[in-house]
């Protein structure tokens, strides 16, 4: 511990007190409410058709959104790191739009684009693809709000990648695709998976962007966060507590996974904190 610089007790005291009041107290209350529900009732709530459907819809659309961002995010990071082209700085700035833009605004904009007479909805309807008020719309809203995760985790690792192994492989006659698959991709894999997990976690809990475009029909286009909200509005607090605590459990599992991935990454680079 650094004993020269003052202010340790004060800053630690403020931090711990603030986190206890603002973060731990409410999360503790949620867990306490959920435990109060009891195991049998919890199982009954969670195995209800509407709850099960909401989890199935949320998990599958989040997976679809993560798949899209895995491909697009990786390509975006690659283009930003490896190439120079006019407007690159603007592209880099645009990546953060989904983080800065309120989710309600994003949802509103996406629904305007994808309704039947919207810029995208019209042409898509002509192709027989409905987006607004379908699970596909949910996936699109999730994909939009989680675009930055893969880009921003992969970008710095790709920047720091040493050129020598790549060059050696090229000298030995390996093709671009082979070098990418055998050398580059394994090197960025931990960062890529970290970004994908963060994006997936964000998608599981997304609310604002989705409710504008989803149609919100029970059993069809109702996501878990919305079902939690509806249970609260119905004053069905045990159900809200059970569902919210389950969602919190998912968040912790993903957080644990991300931490494991970061340990893997640090070991690979050989630099700890």
Partner 1 sequence: MASDPRTQATAQGSRRIRVGDGPATRRVLVGGVLLVTALVLVAPLLAIFVEAFKHGMAAYAASFAAPDTQYAIGLTLFTALIVVPVNVGFGIAAAWCIAKFRFPGRNLLVALVELPFSISPIIAGVAYLFVYGAQGLLGPWLGEHDIKIMFAVPAIILASLFVTAPFVARELIPLMIAQGSEEEEAAVTLGAGGWRILRLVTLPNVRFALLYGAALCNARVMGEFGAVSVVSGNIRGQTNTLPLQIELLYQDNNAVAAFAVATLLTLVALVTLVAKAIIERLDAARVKAQGRPGH
Nearer to partner 1, 44 or 79 (CB): 79
Binder to partner 1 among 93, 217, 219, 263 (CB under 8 A)? 93
Residues in CB range of 197: below 8 A, 6 or more apart: 254, 257, 258, 261
Binder to partner 1 among 44, 67, 109, 189 (CB under 8 A)? 109
Binder to partner 1 among 132, 150, 204, 214 (CB under 8 A)? 204
Q: Per CB under 8 A, does 237 bind partner 1?
A: yes
Structure tokens at 103: 């989710």
Least distance to partner 1 from the beta carbon of 107, Å? 8
Q: Per CB under 8 A, does 186 bind partner 1?
A: no
Nearer to partner 1, 20 or 60 (CB): 20
In the region spanning residues 40 to 69, those forming contacts with partner 1, defined by CB under 8 A, are none
Binder to partner 1 among 54, 64, 65, 110 (CB under 8 A)? 110
Q: Per CB under 8 A, does 94 bind partner 1?
A: yes
Single out the segment in contact with partner 1 by CB under 8 A; choices: 48-56, 91-99, 213-221, 262-270: 91-99
CA end-to-end distance (rounded Å), the chain: 15
Q: Give the residue from 244, 250, 228, 225 showing the smallest Cα distance to 35.
A: 244
Single out the segment in contact with partner 1 by CB under 8 A; choices: 41-49, 129-137, 160-168, 188-196: 160-168
Give yes or no for a contact between 199 and 66, defined as CB atoms under 8 angstroms apart. yes
Q: Per CB under 8 A, does 126 bind partner 1?
A: no
Q: Per CB under 8 A, does 212 bind partner 1?
A: yes
162-199 b/e (C-beta count within 10 Å ≥ 16 → b): eeeebeebeeeebeeeebbeebbeebbbbbbbbbbbbb
What is the distance of C-alpha 97 from the center of its chain? Answer: 15
In the region spanning residues 243 to 262, those forming contacts with partner 1, defined by CB under 8 A, are 244, 247-248, 251-252, 254-255, 259
CA 140/CA 132 separation, integer angstroms: 10
Q: Per CB under 8 A, does 147 bind partner 1?
A: yes
Q: Per CB under 8 A, does 24 bind partner 1?
A: yes
Q: Give the residue from 37, 66, 18, 53 showing the smallest Cα distance to 244.
A: 37
Q: Give the residue from 73, 22, 30 showing the smallest Cα distance to 243.
A: 30
Q: What is the torsion angle, in degrees rounded to the nearest 10, for the CA atoms of residue 50, residue 53, residue 57 and residue 63?
A: 130
Give yes or no for a contact between 240 and 232, defined as CB atoms under 8 angstroms apart. yes
Binder to partner 1 among 46, 59, 79, 125 (CB under 8 A)? 79
Helices (runs of H) and strands (runs of E) counted in the chain: 16, 0
CA 188/CA 154 separation, integer angstroms: 7
In the region spanning residues 161 to 180, those forming contacts with partner 1, defined by CB under 8 A, are 163, 166-167, 170, 176, 179-180
Single out the segment in contact with partner 1 by CB under 8 A; choices: 39-47, 49-57, 104-112, 122-130: 104-112
Binder to partner 1 among 59, 67, 125, 229 (CB under 8 A)? 229
Single out the segment in contact with partner 1 by CB under 8 A; choices: 42-50, 89-97, 130-138, 264-272: 89-97
């Amino acid at each position: 511990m650094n004993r020269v610089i003052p202010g340790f007790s004060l800053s630690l005291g403020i931090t711990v007190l603030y986190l206890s009041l603002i973060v731990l107290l409410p999360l503790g209350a949620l867990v306490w409410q959920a435990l109060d529900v009891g195991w049998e009732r919890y199982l009954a709530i969670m195995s209800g058709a509407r709850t099960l459907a909401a989890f199935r819809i949320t998990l599958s659309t989040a997976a679809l959104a993560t798949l899209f961002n895995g491909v697009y995010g990786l390509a975006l990071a690659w283009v930003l790191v490896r190439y120079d082209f006019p407007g690159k700085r603007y592209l880099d700035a645009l990546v953060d739009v989904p983080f800065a833009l309120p989710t309600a605004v994003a949802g509103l904009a996406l629904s305007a684009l994808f309704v039947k007479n919207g810029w995208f909805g019209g042409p898509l309807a002509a192709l027989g693809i409905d987006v607004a008020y379908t699970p596909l719309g949910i996936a699109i809203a999730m994909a939009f709000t989680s675009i930055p995760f893969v880009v921003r985790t992969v970008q710095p690792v790709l920047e720091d990648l040493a050129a020598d192994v790549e060059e050696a492989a090229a000298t030995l006659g390996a093709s671009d695709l082979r070098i990418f698959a055998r050398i580059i991709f394994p090197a960025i894999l931990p960062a890529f998976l970290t970004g994908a997990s963060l994006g997936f976690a964000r998608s599981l809990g997304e609310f604002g962007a989705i409710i504008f475009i989803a149609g919100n029909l029970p059993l069809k286009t109702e996501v878990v966060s919305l079902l939690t909200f509806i249970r609260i509005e119905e004053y069905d607090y045990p159900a809200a507590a059970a569902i919210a605590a389950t969602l919190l459990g998912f968040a912790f599992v993903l957080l644990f996974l991300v931490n494991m991935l970061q340990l893997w990454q640090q070991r690979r680079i050989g630099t700890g904190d």
